[in-house]
Amino acid sequence: MALREPNLLTNWKQQALRLHKEAHVFYFVFKHPRTRWYTKCLAAFTAGYLLSPIQLIPSFIPVIGFLDDILVLFLGAKLVKKLTPADVLNECRERAEAAEARRKEEVRSGFARFAFVAIAALWLVAVVTASTLVAAYIYH
């Protein structure tokens, strides 16, 4: 049973990554100029229902609260896929893949910026703390 747990974790991770990619595809479908207005409305209503504090079954109810969210998301995604022309959907998938590649590159360079800022902030805190301690020692 210990051998199956990493596979299960990998499967969940793959499913989460696939869901993230599909959400990005649907974002591009929503923004595409050739997407029909009613498909855009369906996507907006699906996202609005998921983000709305007013729902048929409140999300704070342990299990049932999330089941209606999953059902709305599943049905909304299926309908958006069905109502979107195939060429538009393929184009949006390509855009999502390109955006993902750009995002990974930005994350790498973003991490370098973050590291620089963190080191500078730590240095500044250390200098201010040391100065404060020296000043407190001199005045006492």
Residue indicated by tokens 């990974």: 104
Mean pLDDT of 74-87: 91
Whether pLDDT at 112 is above 70: yes
Instruction: Give per-residue pLDDT as tens, 38-65.
Output: 999 998 888 888 777 777 777 777 778 7
What's the angle, vertex CA 59, arms to CA 55 and CA 63, rounded to 5? Answer: 125
pLDDT of the residue at 109: 67
Here the tokens at position 69 are: 């969210």
Is the model's pTM score more than 0.75?
Answer: no
Residue 78's nearest CA partner among 105, 39, 114 is 39
Which residue intervals of the chain are DSSP H helices? Answer: 4-31, 37-51, 64-83, 86-139
According to the model, what pLDDT value does residue 1 have? 47
